[in-house]
Amino acid sequence: MRTHLGSASLLLAGILVAAPGSALARAKITVVNANAPGIGFNDPTPATPLATNPGTTVGQQRLNAFQFVADFWGKHLDSDVEIFVQATFEPLACNATAAVLGSAGALTVFRDFPNARYPGTWYPGALANKLAGEDLDPAVGPGTGNDLRARFNANLGQPTCLAGSGWYYGLDTNQAANQINLVVVLLHEFAHGLGFASFASGTTGALFAGFPDVYSRFYFDNSTGKSRIDMTDAERKASAVNSRNVVWTGEEVTEEVREVLQPGTPFLTVNAPASIAGRYFVGTATFGPALTAAGVSGPVELARDAGGSTLGCTPLGAGALAGKIALVDRGTCTFNVKARNAQDAGAIALVVADNVPSALPAGLGGVDPLVTIPAVRITQAAGAAIKAALPGVDASLLLDMKVRAGADPAGRALLYTPNPFESGSSVSHWDTSATPNQLMEPAINADLTISVGEPRDLTKSLLEDIGWDDEEKKHERKKKRQQDREHRRGD
């Protein structure tokens, strides 16, 4: 059975980094230029040829970048069926300070086709064709038989569209600080169209046309112990905002987590009293020393100045917090000022309790080379629980080296499920706690490279889990992993 989908836009406004990759082509991906004459890919505006992109017009450089990404993905996929991407550059939503860079998604989905691995399950068109070994929707042409739809913002960099920025069309990492690397954004968006996405509603929990999608078969909620396909609509809706409790269970991703994600997840661990004991997520600071596996431990004390304020914005008294983990409230002054005041009072660490509700704590921004104690932020709810248990709270701030950054304690990659729900971002991305930053996080980070697989990225592994694998190569990968583990044991 076939049905058509619309693609969801992704709001991005980051500066991107890319690096070239190479492999032998195994799938053919064709970019179908759906722009009218004179616009988009056909824009005749002269352009200076780049070292990696020899196009002499804006339109040709855009098309070259698209085809580069199509070829790149073709080298990492196995399919005997040609994949068609209907593509345009066109005006998209933007203003002087923000812009929708682009979007891509599957145009059609299929279920119960020949060789489908799961019955009653939606697959994106390109993957369904690969598994079936034939084009299930053979009409070729813009708006008819294409597998993916991709549209990108032609107005980027104009005065009314993220002014002062603009696309970088090179196929390398040489973009200026005010340019956005089209290739990395395209790698991200193509992945969505190839299957890095769920078709179920995140806001209602309803399955698309009453059937699950293959992505949801690998989505698991640690809190409820349920796969997404086994949940009710209400449970799916609640799970989509269950921050850092939702994981991907696919075998390929779980194997690669050990190779890709760095060990060490920061936590505030409350050791006593038992009523609030446990681990609390923290946002780390851009100033001061990084947390370590050894960490710092001590009693927690709510820091008050002479006037009784708990904001930590004024001196707290020499020695007043000697050997203590200082707890202060967010607000009024900068985070590094709070850290300096706690440090001057003898504190061994600073914990900032947020002043607004949130499911996850953000980091602490700022620069101060004189701060020598670690500082973190916790949620408003965690701060309230600790304050209610004072005095008598003992805690540790540390990196748990048994938990990889972006994974749960069992080593399964975390999916992005913030509260509140973020349309276009929630569920169909990796969690932002992943380190190194991943291509399929909900925003484009500055340190990304042109990479979709190990040892840098988990994107290809997820696509292999949903069906973009090759059994012979899968066996080879398992054999290599076993050899690598034996080699490490030998060392």
- In tens, the pLDDT along 258-294 reads 999 999 999 999 999 999 999 999 999 999 999 999 9
CA proximity to 243, closest of 212, 283, 210, 187: 283
- Residues 242-262 pLDDT 10s: 999 999 999 999 999 999 999
At 277, which amino acid appears? Answer: A
Instruction: Assign 211 to helix, strand or coil.
Output: coil
Predicted confidence at residue 146, as pLDDT, reads 86
**What's the mean pLDDT in 449-472?**
92
The per-residue pLDDT for range 473-490, each reduced to its tens digit, is 666 766 766 666 566 555
Question: Is residue 8 predicted with pLDDT exceeding 60?
Answer: no
The predicted structure's pLDDT at residue 173: 79
Q: Which residues contact 103 (CB under 8 A, 6 or more apart)?
A: 7, 8, 9, 10, 92, 150, 151, 189
Per-chain mean pLDDT for the chain = 91
CB 432 within 8 A of CB 285: no
- CA-to-CA distance for 150 and 86, rounded, in angstroms? 6
| pLDDT computed for residue 413 by the predictor | 98
Architecture of domain 263-404: 3-Layer(bba) Sandwich (3.50)
CA quadruple 263, 245, 194, 95: dihedral, nearest 10:
-100
Percent of the chain with pLDDT over 90: 83
Q: Where in the chain is the domain with CATH 3.50.30.30?
A: 263-404
Picking from 198-212, 341-355, 462-476, which range would have the lowest pLDDT averaged per residue? 462-476
Angle at Cα 316 formed by Cα 312 and Cα 321, nearest 5°? 100
Q: Cα–Cα distance between 36 and 234 in angstroms, integer?
A: 44
Question: Checking DSSP bridges between strand 246-248 and strand 100-106, what pairing results, if any?
Answer: unpaired
Query: How many angstroms separate the CA atoms of 347 and 321, rounded?
Result: 5
Dihedral of alpha carbons 386, 395, 400, 365, sign: positive
pLDDT tier for residue 143 given thresholds of 50, 70 and 90: low
Nearest-angstrom CA–CA distance, 473 and 284: 40
What pLDDT score does 365 carry? 92
Q: What is the mean pLDDT of residues 149-176?
A: 93
Give the whole-angstrom CA distance, residue 129 versus residue 113: 9
* Contact present, 312 and 326 (Cβ < 8 Å): yes
445: pLDDT confidence band, cut at 50, 70 and 90? confident
Backbone angles phi, psi at 209, to 5 degrees: 55, 25
pTM (2 d.p.) = 0.85
Rounded to an integer, what distance in angstroms lies between the CA atom of residue 450 and that of residue 16?
Answer: 10
